[in-house]
Structure 1
């Protein structure tokens, strides 16, 4: 299981001030571009990709539809994704499939899609149906993050992930239960088959995210 650490710069100065040495333990960097105004994203992009040259980067525009910090029309969303993909070729492009289904076909030329689903309210009853539909599209990674309210919510997410991975060995999954109850799901990838877990430096990008330093310690103990 690889560790992803999100960065959330709000200006080009924030990018310049990132201490890359503190991110050495991260396997991947997720650039959460939604913390910038939409007109600033392409202006700041060169600084971000120069800062992390040689590192694997996930480009994510988490919109307000899925708990993010930017409001975009389908046209604006797809245009920004396509420009970043074409200009900088990040290792992965996050695509909010259910929020922007109408323009999904425009991204089919890009083989490195992370098809994502986020639910900050609940663990939906149709979780398996959502996971099944995303799996049927054969993206690089299926990512699902849902809010846990009960211990059973957490166990369901972990069990579903293991089941889908067993049946679809070639497909990569990154799944997590959000919130304090869901923290266990963030360290259980070796059991469930989840390929990524997300850790924070100072600021968490989702509820229940564990700090990079603590996550390193936990995974080290578990792997001994």
Structure 2
């Protein structure tokens, strides 16, 4: 499997890396959260700017906050994510505004990586991926289903589609209703991991899905999300619990 470097970490090598979400609603909260996240020593910080409503309405403020964050976190890689409301985010944004915001994130290099959701205008998504690569920003392309786990063929199709559109790292998260649903996601992850050169990120959410968050090395997921304080998704573990659990399941060969 090929690897992808995000600043100073390599996805697809060794244990799955751990990202911690920063869900601050104000600049002060974002900075306070960032200090706590740095102290927890994750591999990456995900800055969830859909929580930062005053920032996404003011590009200058958004850029200024990003610059302050970078000074504070040093070499810790930053993934910038605006999660749309349809996929579990907290802020409603028109399609055109979402795409413009992604362009702002990329051209101002607000982070080392950007999350781009799969289900938007395909032509514009491809253009954004190309723009991100021009600015040396890693693209994590994502899809989230908070109601169900799609069929295995659907999961595999979506992950492959993300790679075809130029994503560096395809990501899919979904909500299981039964243990079989979790097995469906894990089977799809393993199959696509064997087929694609890209590192993958997959997870089943909620209590049923916790096993998928800690067993990424076994099934082929390269990143998991752990919380410092407030979680950003159902079933998210604390960074301490996640790190310990991953070590218990580490494969040495």
TM-score scaled to structure 2, two decimals? 0.82
> For residue 85 of structure 1, what is the aligned residue in structure 2?
106
> For residue 43 of structure 2, what is the aligned residue in structure 1?
27
Task: Assess if the C-alpha contact under 8 Å between 2:37 and 2:45 holds in 1.
Answer: no
Task: Assess if the C-alpha contact under 8 Å between 1:176 and 1:185 holds in 2.
Answer: yes
Q: Mean alpha-carbon deviation: is it higher for 190-199 or for 73-82? A: 73-82
Equivalent position to 2:57, from 10, 21, 39: 39
2:169 aligned with 1:141, yes or no? yes
Aligned mates of 2:110, 2:30 — CA distance in 1: 19
Aligned mates of 2:221, 2:109 — CA distance in 1: 27
1:137 CA displacement: 2.3
> For residue 59 of structure 1, what is the aligned residue in structure 2?
80
> For residue 124 of structure 1, what is the aligned residue in structure 2?
150
Task: Assess if the C-alpha contact under 8 Å between 1:59 and 1:93 holds in 2.
Answer: yes
2:141 aligned with 1:115, yes or no? yes
Map Cα deviations across residues 78-113 of structure 1 (whole Å, 9 max, x no partner).
222222222235221100111453521330221221
SS at match of 1:116: strand
Equivalent position to 2:212, from 175, 185, 196: 185
**How many pairs does the alignment contain?**
223
Alignment of 1:180-219 (within 5 A): 180-219=207-246
Aligned mates of 2:215, 2:182 — CA distance in 1: 11
> For residue 188 of structure 2, what is the aligned residue in structure 1?
160
Aligned mates of 2:34, 2:132 — CA distance in 1: 30
Higher relative contact order (CA 8 A, sep 6+): 2
Q: Mean alpha-carbon deviation: is it higher for 173-182 or for 8-17? A: 8-17
